[in-house]
Structure formats: C-alpha cells, structure tokens
Chain A
Amino acid sequence: MTSSDNFLKSLPYFAALNSEQIERLKKDIVELSFPRGELLFLEGEPCRGLYVVKSGQIRIFKSSPEGREQVLLIAGPGDSFNDVPVFDGGPNPASGSALKPATVYLIPKEKLLSLLADCPTGLNIIRQFARRLRQMTALVEDLSFRNVVSRLAKTLLDLAVVEGGPSPVRRLTQDEMAAMIGTVRDVVGRALRTLEKKGAIKMEGQRIIITDPKILRQLI
C-alpha cells in the first residue's frame, strides 16, 4: 500500500473499501494545489465533488449580501468538506478558499455516488439525510441570527437615553455591543441593518436612533 492508499483508507468515508476498490477510486481522484487566498469553489455553484485536505488549510465561508464573510470552518489535513451537496444534489452551501497554500483531493461527485450504485436504498437514505442536514443548518443559522437580533434589541432599549435628558448618552462601538450580547462585530453590523430595515432604528452617522421602541420590544 502506498502512503496515499493509507491516507484514503484512514478517512471515515473510505475505511470499509478494500485495496482493489481504493485502487479504482484513486484513478478518478484529482489532486489540486492552491496558493494562499485562491478560491476552490463558490457558494451557490454546482457541486463538483467531495474535497479532502491533503496538506495546508482551507477556509469555508459564507458571504453576506453586503460582502462580509463569515467563516464556518477551517479544514486541515484529513478533513473533508462539501459533502452535503454531493449527496442532496443541491449547490455548494458555502465557498472555499486556501487559508494557507494547500493541496486537496477532489473526489468527483459521480465517482462517490457510484460507490453506492449497488445499494440504491442506501443512496436514497443518505440523500434524505443530506437534505435534512442542509435544512437544519439553514434553520440553525436563521435561529441564531434571530437570537442575536433579539439580544441586540434588548441591549439597545436598556442603554438608550433621551438626548439632552438627565442621563449621559452611552457610546459603544460595535465590538463592545458584540461582547455584551455574545457575538462578533460583523454579526452586530448585520443585526443593526436588520433592525433598520424593520423600521425600529435609524443609523445616522455615529448615532443609533431608536425611532420605534415598540418594534424592538416585539423582537425580545
């Protein structure tokens, strides 16, 4: 067995394959190298296959409509990613780029599915699981963001004072707001824009003006 055979066999996906099957699998695997910063694939594009990191590091991230990036995973040697779209047939759920110079194995989607060709029921079950996993991931993202919006709404209500009133106006950076509600500043930025779209607040230069506290209260 060569070192690449051993590497493939050490991956959970291929642990049950015999040497002959590993040999056949190897013929279709593509080895790709990426300099630091280069994109492997984009969110929303059709999926080419499953990736396994041979060396280096890959950053898996999602981009918001405003162009901000949220890192979901840093994959190192032996880690695989992009498995959901291989099995549910949907587009790539996130983008991938090389955080450090990296070499990855691309196991083409058709090849991976062909390993299951003689067990169509197994394939159907996996497909259902992959669909569920995609839905659950979207749900978790949505819920955790709503949670942040709700905590931010409460914090803004707690801190807001009337201008020119007896209490001094509080000044907080987005980092400080993030620390108070247990998130990071990018997410605070998104949450502030969401509250503005809902008509609860108005961002005017360095001022966050609470224009409709009722909306904020409903969100808590």
Chain B
Amino acid sequence: MTIVIPEVDLGKCNGCGDCVELCPAGIVAVVNGKATIVRPEDCDYCTDCETFCSSGAIKCPFEIILVKDEGS
C-alpha cells in the first residue's frame, strides 16, 4: 500500500517549526526553511500538524470510501 502523508504547501509554510515540536511521532523537520515529513512510514495521520499549523500550510485530506460488497 502506498504511504499517504500530510501535504505541505511550500508557498504557505514559513518554517516556524511548530509542527516539528507538535508531531507526536517526531517525524517532521524543517529542511531548507520548509516543513518536511522525514520518516513518512511512521506518520499515523493523527492530523495534529494540520490542527496546529497557524499558517494553514499542512493539510491532511481523507479519502471517503464505501466498502464494495454492501447489499443496498
């Protein structure tokens, strides 16, 4: 399965590092002044980075999926 990680909008990210502090998995770093998910495989998609980024630069979209074999 492909790993999906939060999307960082590089235009909006100001490199403040709040998400680095707040990510419970400790997998975000500021690289060249922009937030980067450095260990994507450890992201549990808790969405804390999206909640706390005051620039609105991180997004955690969800896919809404219906299981196939539903009777109706």
A interface, CB within 8 angstroms of B: 156, 159-163, 169-176, 185-186, 189, 205-211, 213
Contact = CB atoms under 8 A, between A and B. Distances in A.
Q: Please classify the interface of chain B as helix (H, G, I), strand (E, B), loop, or mixed, using the class held by over half of its residues.
A: loop
Interface in B8-51: 44-45, 47, 50-51
Contact of B61 (A162, A172, A210): A172
Residue from the set B4, B45, B50, B67 with the largest chain A CB neighbour count within 10 Å: B67
B47 A189 contact: yes
A210 B65 contact: yes
A163 B64 CA distance: 9
B65 A163 contact: yes
Interface residues on B, range: 10 to 19
Residue from the set B44, B60, B66 with the largest chain A CB neighbour count within 10 Å: B66
Nearest to A168: B63
A173 B59 contact: yes
Contact of A207 (B44, B50, B59, B65): B65
A206 B5 CA distance: 8
Contact of A173 (B44, B50, B70): B50
A211 B71 CA distance: 12
Nearest to A202: B67
Given A185-B51, A205-B4, A205-B45, A170 B64 contact: yes
B66 A173 contact: no
Contact of A162 (B44, B45, B50, B68): B68
